[in-house]
Amino acid sequence: MEDGLLTDLVPLLSNIEDSNILSYYDEWAMFPTYTNGSIYSIPGDVAEVSCMGTFVRKDWLEKFGMEEPKTMDEYVDYLLACVNNDPDGNGEADTYGFGGDNGDWKYFAPFLYSYKADVNHFVKADDGTIVHGSTQPQVKEALALMAELYQKGVFEPSIFSASEGETLFAEGKVGSFYRYLSSLNPSQQYLQSFYQNNPDGEYEVIEPIQGPDGFSSDERENGTGWCSYAITNNCENPQRVMEIMDEIASGEMFIMNKWGVEGETYELTEDGAVNFIVDETKRNEMGLSTFTGFVNRKDAYNIQNSKEVNELFARAAKTSLPLNEYRAVLGTTGDCWKEYGAELDKLRDEYFYGIIMGERPVDDFDEYVELFYAHGGKEVEEEANRMYAEQDASYQEFCQRYQEWFQ
Amino acid sequence: MGNHRTKGQKNIWAKLWKYRYLYLLAFPGMLYFIIFRYVPMYGVVIAFQDFRISKGIWGSEWVGLEQFHKLFTGLSFPSVFRNTVIISLYKLILGFPAPIILALLLNEVKNQRFKKVTQTIVYLPHFISWVILAGLIAMFLHPDSGLINELVKLFNDGKGIDFLVSKKYFRSILVITDIYKGIGWGSIVYIAAISAIDPTVYEAAMVDGANRFKQMWYITLPELKSTIVVMFILNMGGILNAGFEQILLLYNARVYDVADVIDTYVYRNGIMSSNYSMSTAAGLFKSVISMGLIIITNKIAHMLEEDGLW
Amino acid sequence: MKNKKNIYDYIIIFILVLISLVMLYPFWHEMMYSFSDPVDAATGGMFLLPRGFNLKSYWSVLRNKSVWTGFRVSVIVTLTGTVAGVMLSAMLAYPLSKKRMPGRNVLISLIFFTMLFGGGMIPNYLLAKKLKLIDSYGALILPGLLSAWNIFIMKNAFAGIPASLEESARIDGANDLTIFFHIVLPLSKAVLATIALFTAVGYWNDYFSTILYIVSKDRWSLQAVLREILSNAQSAMSASGISVRAEEAISSETVKAATVMVATVPILLVYPFVQKYFIKGVMIGSVKG
């Protein structure tokens, strides 16, 4: 964009009646491509605004005689029962309450978000300033809770060192996860394996757990794509290209691109799974799925999601709103963060995991906050405040222009 | 008298002429090094720049030693450097002799078939990537269901140890698994060297009544000495590497304190900031230290009357 | 000497068998995994036998045309590279083993320097571009042809050949070339085989050169093809025309295991051939007389 190699897409898009691209993407999704006062690329693959949820074992809840947990107390009761009440009935203490992959704090969402603790992002403090979520006082409470649960054996150990989430999910010895909603799609291999090993087992996704202050939220994706497509200045007929791109973005074309024609290349099963009728070589010759990187639709046209899963996505879009309001999402990385960020993250992880696993006392959290501010935290927050204000202003401007261009 | 110089010059040319065939042999190889190794070497300057891909090497700003300064004054650098040295030393002290011992053991096997099969099996882990091995290691070390802990539980009151998050054991895990992966492959050089030893020397020794231990000690090992020395000096070159891929896959926040090394530190910082320059600077720093170590070790080898690299 | 086995023999055999079993496990695990049904295998754990034996995963990997073109590319590159590399390395290492050759130390230092210092990806790429090597076999073979490491090992081995052999040959009128090709090389089979093995494995496992230098889909090396399958980067591959099971973008672990097998087994088959050069007594007959 800086070197002037790309074509301005605004005039091209506004020439298309009933544009598919514009009806699928909203301003927030298109915003990252806003440069030099115009739009130069189209996002390719944007995740759903919320795609994870709190999983529990429905059959275990029934066995324990418990209702679906809503508050943290109820949830903890459930988790402890998973550990102590031998839900798989084999006489051995080999079950756990909670498990998941290592490496991202979002996998601990039920314990964090219920306390309004968002440790890996910038957030809006009560007075409106932007601060780093890991320094907020409620984080200490969340950590204390997790430390207690750790002592009671609730956590499956690999959540602290490895990425065994899928295998644990299939095995069925862990009572609760925070994982991707698409895991419940019937065609998912790990789900099929789970049913094979646990014929009476059933997972369900519950609404996010409420913390002591009544706050609850699911994880929110930042709504921006990880790749995008542009038209270079070498193109002879950019308008035509834009029209083609727009056609591909339509729901029907998406289905045809990815799966083909119903009855000819694929079929829908009862529970909503998509099965291919033609074999793989033929599929590749036909070119199926070659263009799915372009406007990868996640709405109803994504027919590999079963009805239930789509409903879960829709619900999650709502249950994740509280976090969306609390978080301050920055589209780019600032220079200060580039300089201090890695070390600050390391500091946080060392302290937080240390507290959870009992190596450090909970009060070490205060030490962490001091160190955070002493080693770049102050500069980083100042920068975040500046950038957020600028971004906000730019976004307002963008939305205004957006109306002008496309309305 | 005026002929002295010309005679000296004549002698130099005469010498070069004498060795002409050797120079001829060496020529293609040296050509390769010059073209494919020396010509691209200017890339090292990235370490002294604030490199941006869009600007390229010639367009990026010069910052002198700033990248190095950033590297050395990082909050974690002292512990990171310490870990690098400790882990590398640990791996060297235990890991260097291991393949030699294995080669010696294999040498004692009389049955050729068994020997060949064992040799082939023993170097298999080298071909399994760390990605796969890390998964297997996690499985075996699982505090509750891992095989290793089944043993540990017998001695430890029924409680397993979570090795991968333990500061006490993590480095040992790194070293043991690294030896595991490399011992078979590393022994190949020594097996080859042993096979070049003249068997008549062994025959003579046996006639003199030497048992197999004496043979190993007085024949095999001395014959291997020059190979061992060269391998040792060469290993000095990689001493600050400490096993980036292995550590990256196995480590976690609990063991940063003992296992974060220069490469993993630079990697995390680089991800955050796309700092190509800093990783080049770190690489340069490691190389300079390695070079110093190699030169020193080489001198020591000479003092012990052995051939080094030079 | 009779083939009597004593207690030490048994101890050594016992230790080696134990070591072998432990060393074998990861490979065995991957192999069993690759022959398993994806759903049965999903729960992880130890694998002593396949679970739900089937060849689905292999089928999915091997029916992919790109795997075969990749195989062809890798075989060509590995064979050419190994032969050329070993030859050139030996030709360079031998003179360096002669302490009296003028300039020897300079050359050694130059080579040594490259072991620790290098230019990195960008200059290498630019060089390949200048030499018009981009997208050619040359780019896969040339940049990694020689390594200081291998040369030093060879040099050390050559230095170990008794001087007496050389001297007697010289008396008979041989020059350096004849000595090198007719005496030194034949006697160095073990080290040549070793370096050949190292070089071959290096070429076979190299995927990065493809990523850096190759554009056309039919010139991708096997490792690069397989790696793309593993990392689900379907957009990159479909852009360059390589077909991939796009729907298995959540690539099942069994397919990954089958990929590992396909990538590794060919090069493993090389070692047994190399082993025959590690037999003792290659020097018999040369020292006597």
Closest residue on chain C to A291 (Cα): C235
pLDDT band for position B179 (cuts 50, 70, 90):
very high
Partnered with residue A38 across adjacent β-strands are: A35
Is the Cβ of A93 closer than 8 Å to some Cβ of chain B? no
* Cβ-based interface (< 8 Å): residues of A facing C: 164, 166-167, 170-171, 188-190, 192-193, 196-197, 227, 258, 276, 280-281, 283-284, 288-290, 292-293
The whole-number pLDDT of residue A281 equals 59
From the list C43, C243, C246, the residue facing A197 with the nearest CB is C43
Closest-CA residue to C73 (of C133, C137, C132, C135): C137
Neighbouring chains of C at 3+ CB pairs within 8 Å?
Answer: A, B
The answer to whether residue A371 scores a pLDDT higher than 60 is: yes
Do A300 and A199 share a structural domain?
A: no
Q: What is the CATH number of the domain that holds A153?
A: 3.40.190.10
The stretch B152-175 carries a mean pLDDT of 91
Residues of A in contact with B278 (CB under 8 A): none
DSSP state of A225: B
How far is residue C150's CA from residue C91's CA, in Å, rounded to a whole number? 12
CA–CA gap between residue A331 and residue A201 (Å, rounded): 41
C40 interfaces chain A, CB cutoff of 8 Å: yes
Minimum Cα–Cα distance from B275: chain A residue:
A338
Nearest to B76 among A3, A161, A343 (CB): A343
Q: Over chain B, what HEC string results?
A: CCHHHHHHHHHHHHHHHHCHHHHHHHHHHHHHHHHHHHHHHHHHHHHHEECCCCCHHHHCEECCCHHHHHHHCCCCHHHHHHHHHHHHHHHHHHHCHHHHHHHHHHHHCCCHHHHHHHHHHHCHHHHCCHHHHHHHHHHHCCCCCCHHHHHHHHHCCCCCCCHHHCCCCHHHHHHHHHHHHHHHHHHHHHHHHHHCCCHHHHHHHHHCCCCHHHHHHHHHHHHHHHHHHHHHHHHHHCCCCCCHHHHHHHCCHHHHHHHCCHHHHHHHHHHHHCCHHHHHHHHHHHHHHHHHHHHHHHHHHHHCCCCCCC
Q: What is the structure's pLDDT at B169?
A: 95
Q: Please compute the mean of the pLDDT values over residues C231-236 and round it to a whole number.
A: 44
Rounded CA-CA distance B260/C154 in Å is 36
How do beta strands A96-99 and A174-180 pair?
parallel
Number of other residues whose CB lies within 10 A of the CB of residue B42: 15
CA distances from residue C225 to A281, A288, C78 in whole angstroms, order as listed: 16, 19, 16
Taking CA atoms, B156 is separated from A83, B77, B144, B153, in Å, by 22, 36, 13, 5
CA distance B87 to chain C (A): 20
Give the least confident one: A22-26, B5-9, B66-70.
B5-9
Write out the DSSP string of C14-42. Answer: HHHHHHHHHHHHHHHHHHHHHTS-HHHHT
| Contact present, A116 and A138 (Cβ < 8 Å) | yes
The residue in chain B having the minimum alpha-carbon distance to the alpha carbon of residue C270 is: B120
DSSP A209: P
Would residue A402 count as lying in a domain?
Answer: yes
| Contact between A223 and C73 (Cβ < 8 Å) | no
* Domain boundaries, position A165: 52-206
Residue-level pLDDT at A2 = 56
Q: How far is A309 from chain B (nearest CA, A)?
A: 30
**Count of structural domains within chain A:** 3
| pLDDT tens-digit map of A294-307 | 777 777 777 778 88
Predicted TM-score of the model (pTM): 0.88
pLDDT for B6 beyond 70 = no
Q: Which two tokens stand for residue C97?
A: 């083993």
Model pLDDT for residues C140-195, shown as the tens digit of each residue: 999 999 999 999 999 999 998 888 998 999 898 889 999 999 999 998 988 999 99
Condensed to tens digits (0 to 9), the pLDDT of residues C24-75 reads: 999 999 999 999 888 888 887 888 888 888 888 888 888 888 889 999 999 9
Work out the number of other CB atoms within 10 angstroms of the CB of residue A218: 29
* Burial (CB count <10 Å: 0-12, 13-18, 19+), residue A195: middle
pLDDT of B309 above 60:
yes
Q: How far apart are CA C200 and CA B188, in angstroms?
A: 14
What is the structure's pLDDT at C283?
45
Least confident of A38-42, C10-14, C189-193, C215-219: A38-42
CB contact B52 to C (< 8 Å): no
Task: Indicate whether A319 belongs to any domain.
Answer: no
SS3 A55: strand
Residues 215-234 of B with CB under 8 A from C: 226-227, 230-231, 234
Distance from C-alpha of C247 to C-alpha of C240, rounded to nearest angstrom? 18
Region B109-137: mean pLDDT is 91
Q: Are residues A181 and A284 in the same domain?
A: no
Is C250 within 8 Å of C176 (Cβ atoms)?
A: no
CA B283 to chain centre: 15
Average pLDDT of the segment spanning B239-268: 93
Q: Would you call C95 and B25 a contact, using CB atoms and an 8 Å cutoff?
A: yes
Q: Does B125 contact C26 at a Cβ distance shorter than 8 Å?
A: yes
Domain assignment present for residue A173? The answer is yes
Query: What is the C-alpha to C-alpha distance for residues B293 and C212, in angstroms, rounded to an integer?
Result: 32
| C213 against C278, higher pLDDT | C213
Asked if C40 lies within 8 A of A193 by C-beta distance, the reply is yes
Non-local CB neighbours of C87 within 8 Å, separated by 6+ positions: none
Q: Does C255 contact chain A (CB < 8 Å)?
A: no
Dihedral (Cα; A240, A241, A247, A248), 10-degree rounding: 160
Residues A239 and A197 in one domain: no
What domains lie within chain B, and their CATH numbers?
1-64 (no CATH), 74-303 (1.10.3720.10)
Whether residues A183 and A57 fall in one domain: yes
Query: Smallest CA–CA separation between B74 and chain A, in Å?
Result: 8
- Cβ-defined contact of B165 to A94 (cutoff 8 Å): no
pLDDT at res. B52: 83
Please report the residues numbered 16 through 55 in chain C whose beta carbons come closer than 8 angstroms to any beta carbon of chain B. Answer: 16-17, 19-20, 22-27, 29-30, 44-46
| Span of A40-54, A170-184, C22-36, C165-179 with lowest mean pLDDT | A40-54
* Contact across the interface for C283 and B284, Cβ inside 8 Å: no
Q: Per the CB < 8 Å rule, is C16 touching B125?
A: no
Q: Is residue A102 part of a domain?
A: yes
Reported ipTM: 0.88
Integer Cα distance of C78 and C200 in angstroms: 6
Inspect the interface and report whether the beta carbons of A346 and B271 lie closer than 8 Å.
no
- Chain C residue with minimum CA distance to B293: C116
Kindly state whether residues A300 and A193 are assigned to the same domain.
no
Determine whether the interchain pair B145/A341 forms a contact, defined as Cβ–Cβ distance below 8 Å.
no
CB of C244 within 8 Å of any CB in chain A?
yes
CA distances (Å), origin B306, targets B186, C95, C99: 22, 19, 13
Q: Are residues A78 and A156 in the same domain?
A: yes
How large is the average pLDDT for residues C263-276? 87
Rounded to 5 degrees, φ, ψ at A176 are -150, 145
Residue of C nearest to A284 (CA): C243
> C143 by DSSP, 3-state: which?
coil
Over residues C201-210, mean pLDDT: 93
Establish if A347 belongs to a structural domain.
Answer: yes
- Report the chain C residue with the minimal C-alpha distance to residue B195: C280
Task: Lowest mean pLDDT of A166-175, A262-271, B143-152, name the range.
Answer: A262-271
- Is C96 in Cβ contact with B108 (below 8 Å)? no
Question: What strands lie across the sheet with A52-57, from one edge to the other?
Answer: A96-99, A174-180, A52-57, A203-206
Measured CA to CA, the distance from residue C85 to residue C33 in angstroms comes to 36
Give the pLDDT confidence of A69-102 residue by residue, as tens digits.
999 999 999 999 999 999 988 888 889 999 999 9
Say yes or no: A274 and A198 in one domain: no
Q: Is residue A362 pLDDT above 80, yes or no?
A: yes
Q: Are residues A112 and A243 in the same domain?
A: no
pLDDT of residue B148: 92
Whether A278 and A338 map to the same domain: the answer is no
Q: Spell A25-37 as b/e; 16+ CB within 10 A means b.
A: beebbbbbbbeee
Specify the pLDDT at position B8.
Answer: 62
Instruction: Give A284 to chain C, closest Cα distance, Å.
Output: 6
Phi/psi for A393 (5° steps) reads -60, -45
**Residue numbers in B near A333 (CB within 8 A):** 272-273
Q: According to the model, what pLDDT value does residue B238 have?
A: 83
> A204-261, pLDDT tens digit by residue?
999 999 999 999 999 988 766 667 778 888 788 888 888 888 888 888 888 887 777 8
Sign of CA dihedral B53, B54, B60, B63: negative
Which site among A163, A168, A280, A305 would you substitute to test the C interface, given the most C Cβ atoms closer than 10 Å to its Cβ? A280
Residue A221 lies in a domain: no
A230 touches chain B (CB under 8 A): no
Q: What percent of chain B has pLDDT over 70?
A: 97
Structure tokens given for B248 = 């990256």
Average pLDDT of chain A is 87
* pLDDT at residue C235, rounded to an integer: 36
**Is the predicted pLDDT of residue B172 greater than 90, yes or no?**
yes
| Residue A151 shares a structural domain with residue A253 | no
C181 touches chain B (CB under 8 A): no
Q: How far apart are CA A348 and CA B250, in angstroms?
A: 19
Q: Specify whether A302 is located in the same domain as A348.
A: no
Residues A32, A125 share a domain: no
- Judged by DSSP in three states, A318 sits in helix
User: 3-state SS string over A106-148?
Assistant: HHHHHHHHCCCCCCCCEEECCCCCEEEHHHCCHHHHHHHHHHH
Residue of A nearest to B271 (CA): A342
d(CA C119, CA B38): 8
Are C278 and B191 an interchain contact pair (Cβ–Cβ within 8 Å)? Answer: yes
Show the domains of chain C with their CATH numbers: 7-54 (no CATH), 64-278 (1.10.3720.10)
